[in-house]
Chain A
């Protein structure tokens, strides 16, 4: 799901945002926690744009509800406000971010697309309010990168870690050496195929074959035929052509283990592919918040979410849920609503309480909080089982 939303935002050319000196919060006096704590979520709910979904707001609202029931943050009541921010419209991100700032929040959460984060960089520097982004963690927005900021923290694990996890699982667990790479012929597919190739080279392997197809392909016969003879296939594609690929493998009598991205989970969730084509299908995801997860906390979250909203949560809902819990931990560690103190606490705090998508969130030098990647295996019924978890190394700030 996360991937798909991010993809919607994809390939939007952004002008380089000139870096302005970070102005800081400017004279806010440090005080102990007093009065209600306000969090602002920068995300949409259904109806606000064609691509809008309720997942973020639902996940965050559930966390607020649980926190309130347990006595609030540092004993103070907490409120969740919201400004719609579209994942597919980075041009508007700056003004939407400023609307969030105008609400004078203690912390800001959300922004679903990395391109939007990049677009709002100057204002993030100026606002001087800690922002915990739920977008994917692309290279430019890490601390030290052109879109990074001392106020910007990134919840999700590094993008490239999914590629490494896929190669690791294919070579170490599936014992494959002839690994074919497929994907969509735009930035998502091509950058991941390049990263996968690098990851294979690190293990002294070359791709068995590489084949790309259009994001709107309804027929990937050439790709399927090119993969004949491989003993594993890794695919980073949009959900629709990915579903076509999985089906056409089966139609051509091929049963090669296929490791996909979270697009696979989307394709299965929306019933684009089911039954036999799901035999031998895996996906690398940052988080599996379903009952198939190995983490008890994830199962608990899934149960509570299902009860409240009547659907199985997506990883997006889990991200927003986790972001609220991380914010709580940071504010309590700071013992203050002073932005600078909270920002300092963000660098130091380790969050294990309640969170779903990581065994422990802790910021590294690049301001990235998660280093975990999970491998899901699909059943033909469409359910997932988390069969492997990898924790990758922390990194330093981008030089």
Chain B
């Protein structure tokens, strides 16, 4: 029983972070049609910025985190200006390749700035543990789950209830018609880049205190989150959250009970299965934008 509780708790916490990563991915995709393969490196950069604000700048943990997230908003805008705006009228494949280039540039900048040695990010709750039904669960995992849940709900609210959210959804459904209703696509895109980068930073900051931050930190997370997004239909926000939780739980429970050596490959297997069973989700990206 305690084993089941421990595995479930860690699966939910992992799924919650995946959801935040996947939503950041999706927000940008909906607003601009861009599949941003630099998203994982934005996760990495967000965590490094938090390390910088809390150690080099000496800010307390939570204000340091918030400062890092705010900075990432600016980074998102900068990426929009430099890597996306000039390519706006180019074919999607060109833009996707540009995001790969952006990923490499971001990684290079981090390496020059922070070096290649892994960094640690202090968590607000340290190494404390709570016991639930006999299972030891790190408080950081509960914190992750709580903060991620708040972020997801806030994002759902923005999408469903605010003019900005409506504009993003309109843009996702029919970009030309959105322009005809006066939606400023460039501003919305810029906002989406900022929001997406901030969500990436949040995910990085949530999970970094559990391990350490290095240059490859966010990439693996992005790949798994991509699987979650595909599992969730690569469209509805709710579906993506569900997909993320399913992947998190499968990885922990299946990994804990059935095939421990292969836990890391489950997201990729899920990705293949989803593509095989319902390929329309991936092969027809432009039409399934919402």
B112 touches A47 (CB 8 A): yes
Q: Establish whether residues B136 and A51, one from each chain, have CB atoms under 8 Å apart when the complex forms.
A: no
Are A252 and B120 touching (Cβ within 8 A)? no
Among the 9-residue stretches A220-228, A315-323, A360-368, the one with 4 or more Cβ atoms under 8 Å from chain B is A220-228
When the two chains form their complex, are residues A217 and B136 in contact, meaning their CB atoms are under 8 A apart? no
Contact call B211/A272, Cβ cutoff below 8 A: yes
A176 within 8 A of B: no
A-contacting 9-mer, from B186-194, B239-247, B255-263: B255-263
Q: How far is the CB of A84 from chain B (nearest CB, A)?
A: 14
Contact A252 B136 (CB under 8 A): yes
Would you call A270 and B264 a contact (CB within 8 A)?
no
Interface segment among B75-83, B214-222, B227-235: the answer is: B214-222
Which of A243, A253, A275 meets B211, CB within 8 Å?
A243
Q: What's the tally of chain B residues with a CB closer than 8 Å to chain A?
A: 39
> Which among B3, B119, B136 has the highest number of chain A CB atoms within 10 Å?
B136
Q: Which residues of A contact B216 (CB under 8 A)?
A: 216
Q: Please determine whether B6 and A225 come into contact, CB atoms closer than 8 angstroms.
A: yes
Please give the number of chain A residues whose Cβ is less than 8 angstroms from any Cβ of chain B in the complex. 42
Q: Is B158 an interface residue (CB 8 A)?
A: no
Partner of A219, one of B112, B210, B214: B210
Main SS of the interface on chain A?
A: mixed
Contact A212–B260 (Cβ < 8 Å): yes
Interface: B129 (CB within 8 A)? yes
B14 on the A face (CB < 8 A): yes
* Interface residue from B6, B111, B263 paired with A50 (Cβ < 8 Å): B111
Q: Do the beta carbons of A218 and B207 come within 8 Å of each other? A: yes
Assess whether A50 is in contact with B118, with CB atoms less than 8 Å apart: no
CB <8 Å contact, A213 and B263: yes
CB pair A214–B260 under 8 Å, yes or no, is no
- Per-position 1/0 for B114-154, Cβ under 8 A of A: 01111110000001010000001010010000000000000
Q: In this assembly, does B13 line the interface, its C-beta being within 8 Å of a C-beta of chain A? A: yes
State whether the Cβ of B212 lies closer than 8 Å to any Cβ in chain A. Answer: yes
Q: Report B45 CB to chain A, min CB distance, Å.
A: 14
Contacts of A270 in B (CB 8 A): 117-120, 212
Contact present for B217 and A251 (CB under 8 Å): no
A92 sits at the interface (CB 8 A): no
Interface CB pairs A-B, < 8 A, 18: A50-B112, A52-B116, A53-B116, A212-B261, A213-B264, A214-B220, A214-B263, A217-B211, A218-B14, A219-B10, A219-B13, A221-B7, A222-B260, A222-B263, A225-B6, A252-B6, A252-B136, A270-B212
